[in-house]
Amino acid sequence: MAPFTTIHRVFAEQAERRPGKALFELPDGRSVTYAETAETVRRIAARLLADGVTPGDRVAMQVEKSPEAVALYLATLRIGGVLLPLNTAYTAAETDYVIGDARPRVFVCSPERLPGHDHRGEGDELVVETLGVSGDGTLLGGGGGGPASGTLPGDGGHHSELHDAGPDDPASILYTSGTTGRPKGAVLTHGNLVSNCRALLDAWRYTADDRLIHALPIFHVHGLFVAVNMTLMAGASMYYLPGFDAGTVIDLLPEATVLMGVPTFYTRLLGEDRLTPESCASMRLFVSGSAPLLARDHQAFEARTGHAILERYGMTETGMNTTNPYDGGPRKPGTVGKPLPGVETRVTDRESGRALPDGETGIIEVRGPNVFAGYWQLPEKTASEFRADGFFVTGDLGHVDEDGYLSIVGRDKDLVISGGLNVYPKEIEQLLDVHPEVLESAVIGVPHPDFGETVVAVVVPAPGSAPRADALLDAVAGELARYKHPRAVRFVEALPRNVMGKVQKAELRRCYADLFVDAGAGSDAP
Ligand code: MLC
Ligand code: AMP
């Protein structure tokens, strides 16, 4: 067996092997090579060391997408730090919670974010650095009085200086909310990242010849630990976009070979006349994941382009679990394929944990080198999500067909996935329920033509109150990232409950299923 290696070590090797090759192709026509990125990694690593980061320390990153942000990720790993990527849409309250929980040594934020979110008051421990979208800010020494390039302590740039992480050492903590309404940190190890990346490179035949269109955010598993890691490890290049814009992606298709996206990417691309077999002539692979891709969109995409989208299934806590085949079998619409090599999945009965025969629907469980180490400082919560034999209980519902393909048919966890972003109803309900004009609330996800699902709040007014929807939304808006905001509020006299008193969300979802059916992309409450 090959000795254990890490993402940052493979990157360093790639940078030596192909220094002049473009890693990033930017929208303004500039490119950034492997060697240039390696140099930025060394500079940032030196800065982080000077900030006092030691192995195991967390480095929080809440910055706009830039090549330097990827360098910050690699620099953190290079010195044994643990990367804590934060969604740039988080409000100050959401950010403060995560910073307070994970206690990073350094918090790197956008320069624009600094005035509103200066965490320096949280004790001497936290060092705040800034990194702007064009590499400006204190982190790279431009404007914050940091040391100049090339003269930094520890800036040797040799492999021997790379931190020698083991497979079980933490590499990153990704916060994911939960049914409790409080975000919890999923601790991913170096072994998780490398093993999953290797399995995907192999499964999708991803090589140095690939040119990826990267239009995802880099604060989630999909954009960072799938798309970026695969590109770095393969020595490939990426068209690195600030976000998803259908027109820009279509412009790039003739230059590219692979696109990785959430289903909203594909529904939006289908709305473009320029999506044709000709525009996709150089493309070899379209991947979808993070949320269910409707079979109808899969079929429409194939009819329009000749390409069957390859759907795969993953999770923050597990990285990628299953994938449809690249070759050697059909990519079945409505399925997420089979387990990646080394990954085991099974479908069980929720209560007893008994494995169910193929065809029966139950909870999907996963075991393998991809499965995270646990929730940050929550050993009991961690233990409650694992079976005694090491399988992780995903909370997704599914079944396996006669060919071994897994289909996800629903969720046992109370979760809305809007445009590939997770929204936990509890977090919103807790805010609504403390409003003086609200007796109680239930937050649900309903079908949406652009985001797949969107958030709706069903509210029972307090006795004698007649709250207005916009006033309620205003009251919670300041606490919640924009993507979590309910897009409609409906008032009811009482919430439907079962005999146990539990709110029947399935009934509410049925009741409001058509709310956005005819709504256009991006529309708010009809
Ligand atoms: C943006 N908005 C959203 C939203 N994204 N609202 C709900 N859900 C979303 N996902 C808000 C914007 O703030 C804006 O607010 C309004 O909605 C319209 O925005 P837009 O311009 O249409 O959105 P856009 O910027 O184009 O973003 C949409 C998107 C993006 C789908 C391209 O959300 C995205 O890139 N999603 C991918 C998320 C992701 O990477 N998930 C992977 C998680 S990892 P206003 O104020 O203007 O109305 C994972 C594991 C796995 O799940 O298996 O991969
Ligand atoms: P996150 O916690 O953001 O990583 O989201 C993980 C969840 O996204 C999973 O538990 C699934 O519910 C969902 N998910 C990911 N990929 C798919 C897919 N291909 N089809 C359906 N749901 C998916």
Which protein residues touch ligand 1 with a CB less than 6 Å away? 216-217, 220-223, 243-244, 262, 264, 289-290, 314-316, 418-421, 451, 482-483, 522
Neighbours of 384 (CB within 10 A): 10
Structure tokens, 141: 């020494």
User: Which residue's entry shows tokens 């982190």?
Assistant: 139
- CB 445 less than 6 A from any atom of ligand 2: no
User: What's the full length of the chain, in residues?
Assistant: 526
How does strand 184-189 pair with strand 374-375? antiparallel
474's CB contacts (< 8 A; 6+ apart) are: none
Ligand nearest to the CA of 246: 1
Give CA–CA dist 442/428, Å, rounded: 9
Please state at what angle helix 34-50 crosses helix 7-17, rounded to 10 degrees.
140
Ligand nearest to the CA of 522: 1
Ligand nearest to the CA of 420: 1
Topology, domain 207-308 = Rossmann fold (3.40.50)
Please report the pLDDT score of residue 141 as a whole number: 82
Mutate to test the pocket of ligand 2, among 290, 411, 422 (most ligand atoms within 8 A of CB): 290
- Atom of ligand 2 lying closest to residue 312 CA: 19
- CB 33 less than 6 A from any atom of ligand 2: no
Measured in angstroms, how far is the CA atom of residue 415 from the centroid of ligand 1?
A: 16
Measured in angstroms, how far is the CA atom of residue 347 from the centroid of ligand 2?
A: 16
Measured in angstroms, how far is the CA atom of residue 494 from the centroid of ligand 2?
A: 31
What per-residue string of b and e applies to 194-221 under the rule 16 or more CB within 10 Å gives b?
bbbbbbbbebbebeeebbbbbbbbbbbb
CA angle 132, 171, 8 (to 5 degrees): 70
Each residue of 338-375: pLDDT tens digit?
A: 999 999 999 999 888 999 999 999 999 999 999 999 99
Please report the pLDDT score of residue 145 as a whole number: 35
- Atom of ligand 2 lying closest to residue 316 CA: 4
Q: Domain ranges in the chain?
A: 7-165, 207-308, 416-511
Measured in angstroms, how far is the CA atom of residue 421 from the centroid of ligand 2?
A: 9
Q: What is the largest CA-CA distance in the chain?
A: 72
pTM: 0.94
Measured in angstroms, how far is the CA atom of residue 502 from the centroid of ligand 1?
A: 31
Mutate to test the pocket of ligand 2, among 332, 392, 396, 451 (most ligand atoms within 8 A of CB): 396
How does strand 421-423 pair with strand 258-261? unpaired
Please report the pLDDT score of residue 158 as a whole number: 34
Rg of the chain over CA atoms, in angstroms? 23
Superfamily of 7-165 according to CATH:
ANL, N-terminal domain (3.40.50.12780)
Answer yes or no: CATH 3.30.70.980 is held by domain 416-511. no
104's CB contacts (< 8 A; 6+ apart) are: 57, 58, 59, 60, 84, 126
- CB 394 less than 6 A from any atom of ligand 2: yes
CB 290 within 8 A of CB 422: no
Mutate to test the pocket of ligand 2, among 297, 408, 484 (most ligand atoms within 8 A of CB): 408
Ligand nearest to the CA of 394: 2
One fold for both 207-308 and 416-511? no
- CB 88 less than 6 A from any atom of ligand 2: no
Mutate to test the pocket of ligand 1, among 483, 484, 523, 524 (most ligand atoms within 8 A of CB): 483
Q: Report mean pLDDT in 10-residue bins for the chain, 526 residues.
A: 90 98 97 98 96 96 98 98 97 93 97 67 77 95 44 40 92 86 92 98 98 98 98 98 98 98 98 98 98 96 98 98 97 97 96 94 98 97 96 96 97 93 94 96 97 97 96 93 96 93 94 86 50
Please report the pLDDT score of residue 100 as a whole number: 95
- Please state, in angstroms and as integers, the Cα–Cα distance from residue 330 to each residue in 295, 405, 408, 412, following that order: 14, 10, 17, 28
Neighbours of 524 (CB within 10 A): 12
Structure tokens, 54: 């030691």
Each residue of 293-309: pLDDT tens digit?
A: 999 999 999 999 999 99
For 319, left (φ over 0), alpha (ψ -120 to 50), or beta? left
- CB 408 less than 6 A from any atom of ligand 2: yes
